[in-house]
Amino acid sequence: MLAFLLTLMLLLSVVIVLAYAERKVAAFMQDRLGPTEAGPYGSLQAVLDVLKLLQKEDIVPAQADKSLFKLAPILIFAAVFAGFAVIPFTPDVVPAGIGIGVFYLLAIVSLDVVGLLMAGWGSNNKYAMLGAMRSVAQIVSYEIPAGLAILSAVMICQSLDFQEISYQQGVLLHAFPGMEYETNWLFGIQALGIDTTTIGGITTWNIFRAPMLLVAFIIYFIASLAESNRAPFDIPEAESELVAGFHVEYSGFRFAVLFLAEYSMMVLVSLVAVVLFLGSWNTPLPNIGAAQLANWTTGSVGALSGNLWAAFWLLSKTFVLLFVQLWARWTYPRLRVDQLMHLCWKVLTPLALAVVLAAGIWRLLMI
């Protein structure tokens, strides 16, 4: 229960910051100022937006399928929020450290799709219906390259437990029960004979441990943009043709929940990318000789310092990825449907399959 509330609070604050950042980043990229009035540099704008939404009337269209219409936002948010249960925030804090975390996450997030269909159908609106259809088609297609990219990381780590994967990517490797005698080698190849277990930092991150995971990371990142309906994959919400996509009929609190779910999805996919590929809560600074940068910026497990450093690194890496998501939105134009499917099935999926094969071979070199 405590984990539930804490995660919810953390998520809400991250989403508020993200909503503000979205407007500011967009403004600066277009040589505007963005919100400036509310609070210093307009920093209260996002909070006030949410307050305004909460005060608005909750309109349910007369022709809508009322029960489905009301249920859909809750289902969508619940599905996304349930994904956060398995994300390790620090070496000690993980809401639910289950052994098949990665698989559970993939499974539970697919519930989101059912909610989208429910919202699109329940609204009884052509635009909402088309938006939901496009959104679901896109999410279902891009789950394949995303799943394959995750699979290659899982093959390298030999674990479906997010916390175990996190421990493997840093100097705390031996602190995880059952991995006391594991060793990290440079690029993961034992034959090179360079032991990086105590060096830590970026040298033990998954993208460095097994370089083909860098490709997997890029595939996952592109696919995750599509899964969270972000530009350049935002044809489900294409303003110029569909008004707003599946949430066109929603207002007030229900719209706020859908909005929150969408931003939570962005945060979730970024967190997953960080945990699986970018060293999770581990520091990027390696130990170099006497300068024990990794140890200094890791703290000790169980103590406050360890938790604070870990949360700091995890969140800052996540924010970097979120920034890249915003950046991509204002850099690339929207893809057409055929380009979308071409990218997914003819580019990303074969590439992801090749990466899975390479990861399997690499794993043999790592033993």
Shortest separation between residue 345's beta carbon and another protein, angstroms: 12
Binding track over 14-53 against another protein, x by CB under 8 A: ----------------------------------------
- Among 18, 19, 64, 68, the residue binding another protein under the rule CB under 8 A is 68
Give the residue from 156, 170, 178, 118 showing the smallest Cα distance to 299.
170
| Nearer Cβ to another protein (104/217) | 104
Judged by CB under 8 A, the chain residues 69 through 108 that form the site for another protein are 98-100, 103-104, 106-108
- What whole-number distance in Å separates Cα of residue 263 and Cα of residue 14? 9
343 CB-contact burial (10 Å; exposed 0-12 / middle 13-18 / buried 19+): buried
What's the longest Cα–Cα distance across the chain? 71
- What whole-number distance in Å separates Cα of residue 95 and Cα of residue 93? 6
Q: Should residue 225 be labelled a site residue for another protein when binding is judged by CB under 8 A?
A: no
**Contact yes or no for 288/101 (Cβ under 8 A):** no
Shortest separation between residue 34's beta carbon and another protein, angstroms: 38
What does each C-alpha distance from 324 to 49, 142, 302, 330 come to in angstroms? 24, 19, 32, 10
Shortest separation between residue 162's beta carbon and another protein, angstroms: 12
Q: Should residue 117 be labelled a site residue for another protein when binding is judged by CB under 8 A?
A: yes
Shortest separation between residue 71's beta carbon and another protein, angstroms: 8
- What whole-number distance in Å separates Cα of residue 135 and Cα of residue 238? 11
Residue that the structure tokens 């619940």 belong to: 78
| Token digits of residue 341 | 């499917």
Q: Should residue 114 be labelled a site residue for another protein when binding is judged by CB under 8 A?
A: yes
Shortest separation between residue 123's beta carbon and another protein, angstroms: 12
| Nearer Cβ to another protein (160/257) | 160
Residues near another protein (CB under 8 A) are 68, 98-100, 103-104, 106-108, 110-111, 113-114, 117-118, 120-121, 129, 133, 136, 140, 143, 160-161
